[in-house]
Structure 1
Amino acid sequence: MNIGPLEPRVPDLIVAVVCFALVFVFFAKVLLPRLVRVLAERTDAIEGTIERAEETRLKAERLHSEYKSELAEARRELAHLRQEALEQGSAIIAAAREEGARQRDALIADAQAQLEVDRALAAAELTEGVRHVAIELAGRIVGEPLDAFADSEVVERYLEELNTKFSSRGTTG
């Protein structure tokens, strides 16, 4: 009898089948449930991570859209503030120009009034100077001093006539 691996003995075959059954039962009852539990935990962990990632992505998208809307609102507010600033600046510039024009007109009016006063004073001094020179010249021509004649009405009337002549020339010419 030829016994080889293809023709096992029955007791060896029974021992092999019993050992296989024990190993199979051990794997089926102890190791396989542990493997299934570990695989289920990993699957849950992976699916949970995917779900959390999806929730995080949705939250990020929501925050991004909120950020965009707030940014758009901020830009609108900035444009509004910029427009208000331009309007206020224009109003301030217009007010400053108006105030400058008012001050310029006041300065011009004051200067004209001062010129009128100075002209009147100069005319009075010139008239007085002309009176003294005329009396002195008349005294030289006559050959006698005419100081007493300086306060007379003749000199006043003569100076008024000269003033009227020069005034009428200035306005017509």
Structure 2
Amino acid sequence: MSTTLHTAEGYEMNPLIPFLPEVIMGAVFFGILIFLVAKFVVPNFEKAYADRTAAIEGGIEEAQAAQKEAQAALEKYNAQLAEARHEAARIREEAKEQGAQIVVELRAQAKEEAERITATAHAQVEAERSQVLAQLKAEVGTIATELAGRIVGEALDDEARQRRTVERFIAELEESSH
């Protein structure tokens, strides 16, 4: 048996060499297939690619816009935070100044109160001193009158004389103590 094929016309066919009408028909169908793919499929792919590219670029632009908004919001927040810190520092400084002023006022009030208490105490001591001195003068006068009456041997019942004698005696005591 031989491995060659015979055609109806009597030609021998080699199985490794393609049949020419089949090659031509394959090339025509391939050309039609390429034309159909180029006419209908490729534009749809390109449209889908363009849509996807536009969507991606739009997403990137939206992301950039969102990032810019976020950056602006962050800067605004930082500015507000800095302003709040400055305001807090100003309030603290005012509070310190008011505290210092209150301390000064309280010290002044305390000093005034101490001076008032001291003045009242001095006045009270002076009043008590004057009262005690008056009582002492009266007692010393009475004792001095009695002693003088005993020494002189006569009664010093006359009030004017008694007062002059007491005043003279007290004046002499004051002069001798200075």
Q: Is 103-112 or 155-164 further displaced after alignment? A: 155-164
Aligned residue for 1:154?
161
Shift of 1:93: 1.9
Structure 1 position 126 matched with structure 2 position 136: yes
Partners of 1:40 and 1:166 in 2: CA distance: 128
TM-score (norm 1): 0.74
Letter of the structure 2 residue corresponding to residue 154 of structure 1: R
* Aligned equivalent of 2:91: 81
| Gapped regions of structure 1 (runs ≥ 5) | none
Alignment partners' CA distance in 2, 1:32 and 1:119? 126
Q: Which runs of 5+ in 2 are unaligned?
A: 1-12
CA distance in 2, matches of 1:166, 1:99: 44
Asked if 1:110 corresponds to 2:149, the answer is no
Relative to structure 1, the CA distance from residue 45 to residue 104 in structure 2 (aligned partners, 3 Å threshold; closer, same or farther) is: same
The 1-side partners of 2:176 and 2:120 are apart by 27
Matched ranges for 1:64-75 at <5 A: 64-75=74-85
The alpha carbon displacement at 1:103 in A equals 1.7
Aligned to 1:8: 18
Structure 2 counterpart of 1:2, which letter? Answer: N
**Count of residues paired in the alignment:** 164
2:108 matches 1:101: no
Query: Which one-letter code corresponds to 1:115 in the other structure?
Result: V
RMSD (Å), alpha carbons: 2.9
Deviations 1:53-101 (A, max 9, x none): 2212222222233333333333333333333222222222222222222
Cα distance change on mapping 1:165 and 1:37 into 2, 3 Å = farther
1:58 equivalent to 2:71? Answer no
In 2: Cα distance, 1:169 partner to 1:78 partner: 73
Which structure: greater helix fraction? Answer: 1
Cα distance, 1:131 vs structure 2:
4.1
Measured after TM superposition, the shift of residue 2 of structure 1 is: 0.8
Q: Which amino acid aligns with 1:94?
A: V
Structure 2 counterpart of 1:155, which letter?
A: Q
Distance (Å, rounded) in 2 between the aligned partners of 1:59 and 1:77: 26
Kindly state the Cα deviation for residue 136 of structure 1 after the two structures are TM-superposed: 6.0
Give the TM-score of the pair, scaled to structure 2.
0.72
* Distance of 2:176 and 2:84 partners within structure 1: 74
Any idea what the Cα deviations from partners look like across 1:122-141, whole Å, max 9, x if unmatched? Answer: 122223333454566678x5
Residue identity over aligned pairs, in percent, reads 33
Aligned to 2:174: 167
Aligned-partner Cα distance in 2 for 1:75–1:64? 16
Matched, 1:29 2:16: no
Q: Higher Cα Rg: structure 1 or 2?
A: 2
